[in-house]
Structure 1
Amino acid sequence: MNYIELTDKALISDNDLSWDDLGGGIKRKIMAHNEQLMLVKVAFEKGAIGTLHQHPHLQMSYVAEGSFDVTVGDHKKVLKKGDVFFAVSNIVHGVVCTEEGLLIDVFNPAREDFL
């Protein structure tokens, strides 16, 4: 990999990337990734549901805006701006957006199903 390719992948401008509309009041923007790591912005309209699901990836999610009812395994909690949840591999997790919000999701390894 030459310096130009490395720089293009290392310095990412939000305005250069487009949102993918997932329907149901949710849109996603993949900000950066390689095989081991992925950072994704997920915007939610009030009332939008991130359906309960599980996957083999580790996931940490930072609440950048809004408020969410979050379920991770048997635990439920209201999380707001500045809070974080951690979903280990294969644990059931999901969110309900109670105030228009934005999650910053980090996955290890990268979610190939998003690409």
Structure 2
Amino acid sequence: MNYNNLTDKALITDNDISWEDLGDGVKRKIMAYNESLMLVKVQFDKNAVGAIHQHPHLQMSYVAEGSFEVSMADEKKILNQGDVFFAQSNVFHGVVCLEAGLLIDIFNPHREDFLSPSQK
């Protein structure tokens, strides 16, 4: 699927988008985006890590499956299916997957650094 078309689509089928293997038990699918918003699925194997990082984007993450130890600034909490975390701009955050899981990440604005040159 050509991701350039994602900005033009309103109805997106999961099976039309391939997983991008990020290594170390983490895969992602960029489901949809425009300049101001992006939705990404991130699948984690048990014990996989989303390293502590920060970025200027707002990020909301919904735990669709599994269990995660989430670090946000100086706080850590275990979040399970149905829970959410909200990373404000430039706040350090990361996850450790305690039980194989899936996060649904929403970014504002979109994460241009996630896009390949052909997607920009």
Query: TM-score, structure 2 length as denominator?
Result: 0.90
Q: Give ranges in structure 1 of 5+ residues lacking alignment.
A: none
Identity %: 74
Please give the alpha-carbon distance, in whole angstroms, between the structure 2 residues aligned to 1:88 and 1:9.
Answer: 28
Aligned position for 1:109: 109
> Any idea what SS the aligned residue of 2:9 has?
helix
Which residue number in structure 2 is paired with residue 24 of structure 1?
A: 24
Distance in 1 separating the partners of 2:62 and 2:39:
11
Alignment of 1:43-54 (within 5 A): 43-54=43-54
2:92, 2:58 → 1: CA distance?
12
Q: CA RMSD in A?
A: 1.5
1:36 aligns with 2:25: no
- After the TM superposition, which residues 1-115 of structure 1 pair with which residues of structure 2 at under 5 Å, given as runs? 9-115=9-115
Describe the SS at the equivalent of 1:15: helix
Moved over 4 A (4+): none
Q: Using the alignment, how far apart are the partners of 2:97 and 2:11 within structure 1?
A: 30
